[in-house]
Structure 1
Amino acid sequence: MEFWLSFVFVIGFVILHLISKRMKFIKMVPRSRLLSIVGGIAVAYVFLHLLPELGEYQAELEGEIENAFWSFLEHHIYLIAMVGLAIFYGLEKVVKLSKKRGANGENRPSSGVFWIHIGSFTVYNAIIGYLLIREEFSGPWGMFFFFVAMGVHFITNDKSLGETHKEEYDKYGRWLLATSIFAGWFIGVLTEVNEMVISLLVAFISGGIILNVMKEELPEERESSFTAFFIGIFTYSILLFLL
């Protein structure tokens, strides 16, 4: 049952990546209220589900790992979340710097920066696809809430990447992201890693999600709606508590 449900959801992720560019009703500036709600949903999922889950992983793994390096991470799993946040923040700074230096006055990053940026999100998506089949959800509803939170988060990312990289994203980026999430899921079908690796993946993704949501919601030029953002957080938090 869970296998087929995860298959349906990964196909849903792929479709979202391919059709997000056609969602003309979602504006980046001034920011669509829907995107602010989406940001709230993603933040609620990270803080009320993914981060508490890291605490559970840390408690379960305590004393189980003999290697000194991994044993250190076992007690500091949130460090990986911080690393994930820092990596994606660094990437955003590189992209902005490249846009300022754009050739012929074009306000877009160089081709090399495009591939680095898209490559990072390709890995990001593959990890989410892997977790879709290998994460321990609390039944079908738990997987459904993961799908909703990550699905709406993908819409935000796609809109942002499309705005930044324009034709290159339409031509290459969205196809890579759609393919990578299915590839991550397929790797999860074929292989299974231990709980320590799963916890590291969850931590890394948590940090990335927090940064990607905040960079879209906080800048003044986005003209975001705090009310819509709060509605997203509040509504999804209630649903997660009910679960």
Structure 2
Amino acid sequence: MFDASTYLAITSIAVIGTVHVFCVSFYRRFPTLAGWLSDFSSGIGLGYAFLFLLPKIGELSADLAANGKWENSLFGYSLLGFLIYYLLEASRDTGTDNRLSLGLDTVALGTYNCLLAITVMQTTGTSPELYAVGTLAYSLHLFGVNIFLYKTHPGHMSGWLRAYFVASLAVGILIGLNADKSSMIYSIATGLTGGVIIALSLRVKLPSFSAVNTKALLIGVVFAAVAVEVTRY
């Protein structure tokens, strides 16, 4: 019914979705390790965005230019994704649990999960290693995001919010299944996702530089660099 790349993409997103299901239990049981992984995942987010997603956007932009379209438009979407999420976060007190905070996180991160799934669905490669490394990178990145959300909204993250994020991934899969892989929607989703990942890594998970485990952060960046090299071939 589907080609191999589609099955691999759906499997990858399903594995990523388990992070939403089990992250709270893991944090409660291993708080110290979870804190280290959160900073580590920030490095992954930054490294993956700059070393993989932005070059990918460059390739997609070159294709647009070849077709007579504005070649820098996708970088514009990346900037848009970054600014929207960054400014939304900056407009409130990070770490405060109230209706405004919950509403912003629900809309912004639900949209982000959907965009992430669409981005994964865009992949046309059939190498299992490609999907394994990408799945690990996205999973660890979302783990850090979820830990931040649990600290901000412990009651909601222990209940419906995790299921909502899984549902957002499912919506992304459905959109991906009903859009041609050459569709502009994939390119736009990739552009927005790159910008949001950078904003998440800088604003959401790293609100105070003094509180960051810099060693874990830098190890995460190195991990992302290695992952990009592995998936390049």
TM-score (norm 1): 0.82
User: Could you report, residue by residue, the CA deviation over 1:138-184 in whole angstroms, capped at 9, with x for unpaired residues?
Assistant: 73322222211111111111111121122123332111001110221
Tell me the secondary structure at the aligned position of residue 217 of structure 1. coil
CA contact (8 A) 1:77 1:199 kept: yes
Give the Å deviation of 1:96.
Answer: 1.4
CA contact (8 A) 1:127 1:184 kept: yes
Tell me the secondary structure at the aligned position of residue 187 of structure 1. helix
Partner residue of 1:20?
23
Partner residue of 2:150?
162
Counterpart among 22, 40, 43 of residue 43 in structure 2: 40
The yes-or-no answer on 1:116 pairing with 2:104 is yes
Partner Cα distance (1:170, 1:235) in 2: 30
Counterparts in 2 of 1:219-230, with a 5 A limit? 219-220=208-209, 223-230=211-218
Counterpart among 145, 149, 153 of residue 137 in structure 2: 149
The yes-or-no answer on 1:80 pairing with 2:81 is no
TM-score (norm 2): 0.85
Count of aligned pairs: 225
User: Could you report, residue by residue, the CA deviation over 1:9-34 in whole angstroms, capped at 9, with x for unpaired residues?
Assistant: 22212211011111122459xx8222
Counterparts in 2 of 1:206-217, with a 5 A limit? 206-215=194-203, 216-217=205-206
CA contact (8 A) 1:6 1:133 kept: yes
CA contact (8 A) 1:26 1:34 kept: no
Structure 1 unaligned segments of length 5 or more: list them.
66-70, 100-106
Give the Å deviation of 1:133.
Answer: 1.9
Tell me the secondary structure at the aligned position of residue 202 of structure 1. helix
Give the Å deviation of 1:194.
Answer: 3.7
CA contact (8 A) 1:2 1:140 kept: no
Partner residue of 1:60?
63
Q: CA RMSD in A?
A: 2.4
Max radius of gyration: which structure?
1
Counterpart among 125, 128, 149 of residue 116 in structure 2: 128
Partner Cα distance (1:131, 1:220) in 2: 30
Give the Å deviation of 1:116.
Answer: 3.4
Give the Å deviation of 1:225.
Answer: 1.4
CA contact (8 A) 2:121 2:173 kept: yes
Tell me the secondary structure at the aligned position of residue 93 of structure 2. helix
CA contact (8 A) 1:95 1:109 kept: no
Partner residue of 1:2?
5
Partner residue of 1:102?
none
Partner Cα distance (1:220, 1:240) in 2: 26
Structure 2 unaligned segments of length 5 or more: list them.
none
